Chain A
């Protein structure tokens, strides 16, 4: 069974440019999460999809970030325009349910560097 896959694995862009990150969750997982880790800091929650609906987007830093989940399958996270402080590793995770015991399966992350 394929795990959570993220694309690209690395991205280097200039300040002001646009970048789109993609996440393909495990097939059948309704819950999809985006997290971000800025260098040296803890992993922070960005948002949570249940199928195609945004369940919780309280962690989105500002309106330069736009997440979508077309048809409840894969998700994209667009940063437009990118700023230097957006650099970090963006993780996607999926799970079958949202109970306290259900573990989330993570992708390998996308390392974003804004220069």
Chain B
């Protein structure tokens, strides 16, 4: 079973509108971390936001917020007031706590976001 599922291959949004990118995850661990990365056309992977499994409040970083619903195992990324520069590939990822230490990042397939004027 996939550990990270991103069901939206592509999303379109108009500039200045908000958009939600979906991410669900699968883990039996109690301690884990959830991440969102952005990959623009230039290729680099840019860290956006992190949510720990024990964090009670949803993470926020500027225009980015993470809608964390632990019971549903979802960690959706919300981008408010979209900008043209937000057009990129967005990856959801998870790091789990294991008996032997911590896992490396497991990624979803990504969602391509296109922001139009």
Contacts and interface: CB of A to CB of B under 8 A. Distances in A.
Q: Do A and B bind each other?
A: yes
Interface of A: 9, 33, 35, 40-45, 48, 56, 89, 91, 93, 98-101, 103-109, 111
Interface in B71-99: 91, 93, 95-97
B47 A105 contact: yes
A108 B108 CA distance: 18
A98 B45 contact: no
Contacts, number: 62
Contacts of B96: 100
Given A48-B104, A98-B101, A100-B102, A43 B91 contact: yes
B42 interface: yes
26 contacts: A35-B105, A35-B107, A42-B4, A42-B107, A42-B110, A43-B91, A43-B107, A43-B110, A44-B107, A48-B104, A91-B45, A99-B33, A100-B31, A100-B53, A100-B96, A101-B50, A103-B47, A103-B50, A104-B47, A105-B47, A106-B37, A106-B45, A107-B44, A108-B43, A108-B44, A109-B43
Nearest to A105: B47
A48 B102 CA distance: 11
Q: Which of A56, A103, A107 is most buried by chain B, counting CB atoms within 10 A of its CB?
A: A103
Contact of A103 (B31, B32, B35, B53): B35
Contacts of A33: 104-105
Contacts of A105: 47
What's the dominant secondary structure at chain B's contact region?
A: strand
A33 B104 CA distance: 8
Q: Which of B35, B42, B95, B96 is most buried by chain A, counting CB atoms within 10 A of its CB?
A: B95
Given A103-B47, A103-B50, 19 more contacts: A33-B104, A40-B109, A42-B108, A43-B91, A43-B93, A45-B104, A45-B105, A48-B104, A99-B33, A100-B31, A100-B32, A100-B95, A100-B102, A103-B35, A105-B47, A106-B44, A106-B45, A108-B42, A109-B45
A109 B44 contact: yes
Q: 3 shortest A-B CB distances, which residue pairs?
A: A106-B45, A100-B33, A43-B107
